[in-house]
Chains A and B, each alone.
Chain A
Amino acid sequence: MVETEQKKKGLGSVVINAERCKGCGFCVEFCPTDAMKLSDQYNAKGYHPPVLVSPEKCNGCNMCGLQCPDFAIYGFMFKKKQK
Chain B
Amino acid sequence: MKADPKGVLTGAIFLDGDHACAEGAIAAGCRFVAGYPITPSTEVVERIADRFPLIGGMFIQMEDEIASSIAIQGAVWGGKKAMTVTSGPGFSLMMEHIGLAAMTEVPCVFVDVQRGGPSTGLPTLPGQGDMMQARWGSHGDYGIIALCPNSPQECFDFTIKAFNLSEQYRVPVLLMMDECVGHMTERVIIPPADQIELYPRRYYDGPKEEFLLFKPDKDMVPPIVKAGDGYNIHVTGLTHDEKGYPAMTVPAQEKLVRRLIDKIKLNADKIVEYKEEQVEGADVVVVTYGITSRVAIPAIEQARAEGMKVGHLRLIVAWPFPEKRIKELASKVKAFVVPEINYGQMVLEVERHVAGKARVELVGHGGGAVHNPKDIYNVIKNSVKG
Consider the complex of A and B and state whether they touch directly, i.e. have CB atoms less than 8 Å apart.
no
Which residues of A are interface residues toward B (Cβ below 8 A)?
A: none
Which residues of B are interface residues toward A (Cβ below 8 A)?
A: none
